[in-house]
Amino acid sequence: MKVKIAYFLYLSLIVLFCQKSALAENEFMDLELSMDEDMFMFEDIPSVYSASKYEQKVIKAPASISIVTADEIKKYGYRTFSEVLSSLRGFYSTNDRNYGYTGVRGFGLPSDYNTRLLLLIDGHRFNDNIYDSFDTLGSFPLDLDTIERVEVVRGPSSSLYGTSAFFGVINVITKRGRDLGGVNVSASYGSYDAYKTRISYGDRFNSGLEVFLSGTFYDTQGDESLYYKEFDDPATNNGNYNNNDEEQTRQLMGTLSYQDFTLRSLYTDNKKDVPTGAYETVFNDPGSHTYDQQIFVNLTYDHTFDNHLNLQSKISYNKYRYTGGYPYDYSENDTPDIVINKDQSDGQWWRAEIQATKVMWDEHRITVGGDYQDNFQQYQTNYDLERYVESDQDTYKWAIFIQDEYNITQKWTLNAGVRLDYFSTFGETINPRVALIYNPWESTAIKLLYGSAFRAPNEYELNYHDDGSTTLASEALQPEELETLELIVEHYFNKNIRAEVNFFRTEISDILSLVSLPDGLLQNQNTGDVESHGIEAQLEGTWVNGFQSRISYAWQETKNKLTNKRLTNSPEHMVKLNLIAPLWSEKIFIGFESQYMSQRKTPLESEVDDVFLSNLTLFTQDWVKGVEMSAGLYNLFDQKYFDPGSEEHTQNGIEQNGLTFRVKTSIQF
């Protein structure tokens, strides 16, 4: 393993330092006449919105930030949001062949459903109101082609965003009409008979009206020859799971903007067969599947007054539906009696937000705001021959927050904020974040951060029970709490090369989990504390000829405080190399990435092996005006690897795909 890490570091340092700086350092001696050789065209904007709820330089942001652009998504050939996230330092993805889970800083409990990360779509809170979750695979709500950029803010952000902003906030910013300027159609085909078609239209008219519309359909047969040794028995088809890994996704989104108002709407649904025999369902039965549907309509008002007071308000309607079919054999003799157990959740909520930002007393940028959410439907049920679970709750929550970015001197900045959240289910919680940022030079930032965050018990944890047949109702659940202390050093060696090193220490208390009681019953309880500390380091370079590279290393130790044992699905080491190289100026690019992850513990007290994955994509554009094509190979060296299974799996590890491919074309009219 150490050899592999050393190889990564060596290769990446060569790649980074062999590039000559394409441009001279920016110097404006006389603006009128001597901007000289400097050109800014198409540089990435080193700014971030999501860290403080307003646009600020990354070097001033009170967090460690990663940004993925639309250009990178194309050139690396990413197919899923899971692939986007797992390319980032400290992030890793887990796939149980049903949903995608994202781990960060060593915390990625199997079947966590991403409840400890907050997903924003254009600033709109997307996590649902039943599980407080989102998916990074087929149920992820957006076609990656419609994404303009992804901002990832590491660390606790509950002081601005409330629950689920626990390990980080992911804000996905979608394309605007002006970004498209016409019709764009794409089609792709890949392994497992996977095809995807998309049509998008966008423009900004002279009247000021701006429109973006997009629709996507995706279908795959999936892997038709899955094998699990844990089921290698004639009674379970010798471990072979055939013809039951199909998936279909439909996505529609629309954005309409006029002056200060923007109306966004999104519909997504996904049906996925579950080919793992999870929850002790009948192995290799075609009835095992999940269906997820999510809808939102969001109206935003965003205005900056002449006195530079920025006012933003949002109101949205949201809907989430999940249904699952789980086949069980109720036969008491040799003749099968397959019954599909139905699991279902329906959530509806509306949400209102308001915030105001203004620079005051010259050096203070103050943001105040609040939000209210009415969960007027939180319905859960489980039934087959009889109904085991039925619950429908009406809950609400509200919050107020304040944040001040105080430029003490040119070199010192203090960013401090606090938020009070009230939940009708458990009461109130207060979470602060303080960042002291020192910029000894314009190219360097040293950030010392402290923040706390919480994850409220979700509706599933609160009310999904069968009155004690197998699961007891929970009692007085409280939110999970997290405290993080972090030191970040960022430095730009020149306008092309940047480095960042983070040291973090996190303590989590009152983790919510399903506990087996002495009488064999299950109950959700606040139990267990976790401590985690680690280092993340990254060196990255970007050049105007289109060459980009980054290498990152993350080491983390995340342990259960009671047992002093490493958590399940928590790798100790991760090394990542990303590289985009122009093969033909502005026409052909190669995107290459390699990721190494050390072994991970599984819930069955075993391990899955370390993983070394590489992906390669060839991307071309503008041979014919408006036409882009790409071809990608994923898991290039056909590595056999596993992600840890979770409590509902019999398998120790779920085998992942070997070498796969995808070809894709898009045409702009």
Partner 1 sequence: MREPVFAKEQRQILVIANKNAIPYQKAIVGIKSQFPSGFDVNFSLFFLSEIENKSTFLAKEIIKTKPDLIFTLGKTATKLAIHSTKTIPIVFSMVSNKQIFSQAKNVTGIGLRYPISTQFKWLKEILPNYTRVAIIYNTKENSNAIKKAKDIALNLGLDLIPIIVDKPQQLPSALDQLENNIQVLLSIPDKVVMSPKTAKMILLSSFKHRVPLIGLSDNWVKSGALYGLSWDYQDIGQQSAIQALKVLSGKAIQNINFESPRKIQYLINHKIADRMKIDISEELLKNAKKVFH
Query: Does 34 participate in binding partner 1 (rule CB under 8 A)?
Result: yes
The count of C-alpha atoms lying within 13 angstroms of the C-alpha of 290, restricted to the half-sphere facing its C-beta, is 19
Query: Does 179 participate in binding partner 1 (rule CB under 8 A)?
Result: yes
Task: Return d(Cα 238, Cα 456) in angstroms, integer.
Answer: 43
Query: Does 410 participate in binding partner 1 (rule CB under 8 A)?
Result: no
> Which range of residues in 51-59, 102-110, 231-239, 283-291 is near partner 1 by CB under 8 A?
51-59
Query: Does 41 participate in binding partner 1 (rule CB under 8 A)?
Result: yes
| Tokens matching residue 32 | 């009128």
Q: Which of 43, 467 has the CB closer to partner 1?
A: 43
> Which range of residues in 303-311, 313-321, 374-382, 643-651 is near partner 1 by CB under 8 A?
303-311
Closest approach of partner 1 to the CB of residue 363, in Å? 8
Q: Which of 203, 374 has the CB closer to partner 1?
A: 203
Closest approach of partner 1 to the CB of residue 304, in Å? 5
User: If you count them, how many residues does the chain have?
Assistant: 669
Nearest CA-CA partner of 90 in 534, 627, 562: 534
Query: Does 181 participate in binding partner 1 (rule CB under 8 A)?
Result: yes
Q: Tell me the residue type at 186.
A: S
Closest approach of partner 1 to the CB of residue 58, in Å? 13
Task: Return d(Cα 557, Cα 570) in angstroms, integer.
Answer: 8
Could you give the angle at the alpha carbon of 666 between the alpha carbons of 661 and 669, nearest 5°?
175
> Which range of residues in 82-90, 255-263, 409-417, 649-657 is near partner 1 by CB under 8 A?
255-263
Task: Return d(Cα 443, Cα 421) in angstroms, integer.
Answer: 37
| Residue with the two structure tokens 């029970």 | 465
Q: What is the size of the binding site for partner 1 (CB under 8 A)?
A: 42
Query: Does 475 participate in binding partner 1 (rule CB under 8 A)?
Result: no
Task: Return d(Cα 561, Cα 178) in angstroms, integer.
Answer: 51
Nearest CA-CA partner of 345 in 425, 275, 291: 291
Could you give the angle at the alpha carbon of 177 between the alpha carbons of 174 and 180, nearest 5°?
90
Query: Does 394 participate in binding partner 1 (rule CB under 8 A)?
Result: no
Query: Does 25 participate in binding partner 1 (rule CB under 8 A)?
Result: no
> Which range of residues in 33-41, 335-343, 482-490, 577-585 is near partner 1 by CB under 8 A?
33-41
Query: Does 658 participate in binding partner 1 (rule CB under 8 A)?
Result: no
Query: Does 626 participate in binding partner 1 (rule CB under 8 A)?
Result: no
Query: Does 178 participate in binding partner 1 (rule CB under 8 A)?
Result: yes
Q: Which of residues 363-382 bind partner 1 (CB under 8 A)?
A: 363, 365
Query: Does 32 participate in binding partner 1 (rule CB under 8 A)?
Result: yes
Query: What does DSSP assign to residue 546?
Result: S
Binding mask 501-540 for partner 1 (x = CB under 8 A): ----------------------------------------
Task: Return d(Cα 616, Cα 496) in angstroms, integer.
Answer: 24
Task: List, in sequence order, every beta strand (DSSP E) within 305-363.
Answer: 310-329, 338-360
Nearest CA-CA partner of 502 in 438, 573, 446, 454: 446
Q: Which of 367, 431 has the CB closer to partner 1?
A: 367
Among 1, 24, 43, 637, binds partner 1 (CB under 8 A): 43
Query: Does 624 participate in binding partner 1 (rule CB under 8 A)?
Result: no
Query: Does 24 participate in binding partner 1 (rule CB under 8 A)?
Result: no
Quickly count: other Cβ atoms within 10 Å of residue 45's Cβ.
12
Task: Return d(Cα 185, Cα 166) in angstroms, integer.
Answer: 37
Query: Does 357 participate in binding partner 1 (rule CB under 8 A)?
Result: yes
Nearest CA-CA partner of 224 in 248, 247, 201, 207: 247
Query: What does DSSP assign to residue 452?
Result: E
Closest approach of partner 1 to the CB of residue 169, in Å? 20
Q: Which residues, in sequence order, are CB contacts of 130 under 8 Å at separation 6+?
A: 320, 322, 345, 347, 378, 380, 458, 459, 460
Query: Does 623 participate in binding partner 1 (rule CB under 8 A)?
Result: no
Query: Does 302 participate in binding partner 1 (rule CB under 8 A)?
Result: yes
> Which range of residues in 339-347, 357-365, 468-476, 639-647 is near partner 1 by CB under 8 A?
357-365
Could you give the angle at the alpha carbon of 204 between the alpha carbons of 199 and 206, nearest 5°?
145
Query: Does 45 participate in binding partner 1 (rule CB under 8 A)?
Result: yes
> Which range of residues in 32-40, 122-130, 327-335, 446-454 is near partner 1 by CB under 8 A?
32-40
Binding mask 118-157 for partner 1 (x = CB under 8 A): ----------------------------------------
The count of C-alpha atoms lying within 13 angstroms of the C-alpha of 360, restricted to the half-sphere facing its C-beta, is 11
Query: Does 582 participate in binding partner 1 (rule CB under 8 A)?
Result: no
| Tokens matching residue 647 | 């409590």
Query: Does 469 participate in binding partner 1 (rule CB under 8 A)?
Result: no
CA dist 501 to 61, 63, 107, 483, 495, Å? 15, 12, 19, 20, 18
Strands 117-121 and 168-174: parallel
Task: Return d(Cα 334, Cα 311) in angstroms, integer.
Answer: 68
| Tokens matching residue 304 | 């900056």
CB 476 within 8 A of CB 451: no
User: For residue 98, with 0-12 CB atoms within 10 Å meaning exposed, 13-18 middle and 19 or more buried, which class applies?
Assistant: buried
Query: Does 233 participate in binding partner 1 (rule CB under 8 A)?
Result: no
> Which range of residues in 4-12, 345-353, 360-368, 392-400 is near partner 1 by CB under 8 A?
360-368
Q: Which of 26, 527 has the CB closer to partner 1?
A: 26
> Which range of residues in 39-47, 130-138, 331-339, 424-432 is near partner 1 by CB under 8 A?
39-47
Query: Does 36 participate in binding partner 1 (rule CB under 8 A)?
Result: yes
Query: Does 306 participate in binding partner 1 (rule CB under 8 A)?
Result: yes
Among 22, 299, 359, 667, binds partner 1 (CB under 8 A): 359
Query: Does 411 participate in binding partner 1 (rule CB under 8 A)?
Result: no
> Which range of residues in 75-83, 257-265, 629-637, 656-664 is near partner 1 by CB under 8 A?
257-265
Closest approach of partner 1 to the CB of residue 70, in Å? 12
Nearest CA-CA partner of 655 in 84, 241, 170, 39: 241
Give residue 28's Cα distance to chain centre: 40
Query: Does 415 participate in binding partner 1 (rule CB under 8 A)?
Result: no
Task: Return d(Cα 371, Cα 421) in angstroms, integer.
Answer: 9
Strands 412-423 and 261-273: unpaired
Query: Does 308 participate in binding partner 1 (rule CB under 8 A)?
Result: yes
Q: Measured on CA atoms in the order 597, 598, 599, 603, is the torsion positive or negative?
A: negative
Quickly count: other Cβ atoms within 10 Å of residue 308's Cβ.
10
Closest approach of partner 1 to the CB of residue 410, in Å? 12
Query: Does 55 participate in binding partner 1 (rule CB under 8 A)?
Result: yes
Q: Which of 109, 497 has the CB closer to partner 1?
A: 497
Q: Which of 308, 505 has the CB closer to partner 1?
A: 308
| Tokens matching residue 632 | 């990608």
Closest approach of partner 1 to the CB of residue 305, in Å? 10
Q: Which residues bind partner 1 (CB under 8 A)?
A: 26, 28-36, 38-43, 45, 54-56, 176, 178-179, 181-182, 204, 206, 208, 257, 259-260, 302-304, 306, 308, 310, 357, 359, 362-363, 365
